[in-house]
């Protein structure tokens, strides 16, 4: 799919996600496949989002939220802002990473191409994360 279907300006969501994964590694937060693993703690302070204390890590989109610290308290809106992509793309990416069936609601939506582009990136990210897990020593963070 063409990149212009995702965003016509700003960094590409995949670039943002790669930077966020690297940032998570630097600060010692594990990146894994699952729920976002982040929660809003403030809408005004410099630290607006943090890793959920009981979570074993964050997913790549959660890593982007931690890294970019968007203002909205709503996690879906924050995710879209953090990765610089529409919600349809973000939802597709999440479903692709989790290998769930494509959402019927999005596949019949007028935004199905955005969802599909995100789904493709999500499946690619899943392969990359699992590949890195195999190369990481036991107990290491990815």
> Do the domain assignments include residue 142?
no
Is 100 among the domain residues? yes
In a domain, 4, yes or no: no
**Residue at 140 is within a domain:** no
> 27 exposed, middle or buried (CB, 10 Å; 0-12, 13-18, 19+)?
exposed
**In the chain, how many H helices and how many E strands?**
6, 2
**Does 119 fall in a domain?**
yes
Q: What does the pLDDT average to over 116-136? A: 83
- The residue that leads in pLDDT, 135 or 54, is 54
pLDDT tens-digit readout, 64-122: 999 999 999 999 999 999 999 999 999 999 999 999 998 888 888 899 999 999 999 99
How many separate domains does the chain show?
A: 1
**How far is it, in rounded angstroms, from Cα 6 to Cα 59?**
20
What is the domain range of residue 17?
10-135
**Per-residue buried b or exposed e for 45-59, using 16+ beta carbons within 10 Å of the residue's own CB:** eeebbbbeeebebbb
Q: 115: which 2 tokens?
A: 């969802």
24 within a domain of the structure (yes/no): yes
Residue 25 lies in a domain: yes
Q: Looking at the domain assignment, is residue 1 inside a domain?
A: no
Global pTM?
A: 0.84
Instruction: Categorize the per-residue pLDDT at 133 as very low, low, confident or very high, splitting at 50, 70 and 90.
Output: low
């Amino acid at each position: 799919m063409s990149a212009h279907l995702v965003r016509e300006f700003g960094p590409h969501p995949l670039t943002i996600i790669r930077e966020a994964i690297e940032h998570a590694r630097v600060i010692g937060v594990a990146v894994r496949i699952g729920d976002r693993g982040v929660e809003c703690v403030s809408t005004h302070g410099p630290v607006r989002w943090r890793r959920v204390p009981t979570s074993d890590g964050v997913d790549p989109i959660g890593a982007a939220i931690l890294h970019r610290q968007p203002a909205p308290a709503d996690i879906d809106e924050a995710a879209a802002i953090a990765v610089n992509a529409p919600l349809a793309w973000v939802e597709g990416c999440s479903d692709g990473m989790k290998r769930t069936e494509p959402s019927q609601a999005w596949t019949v939506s007028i935004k199905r191409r955005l969802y599909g582009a995100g789904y493709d990136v999500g499946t690619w990210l899943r392969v990359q994360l699992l590949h890195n897990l195999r190369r990481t020593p036991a107990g290491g963070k990815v």
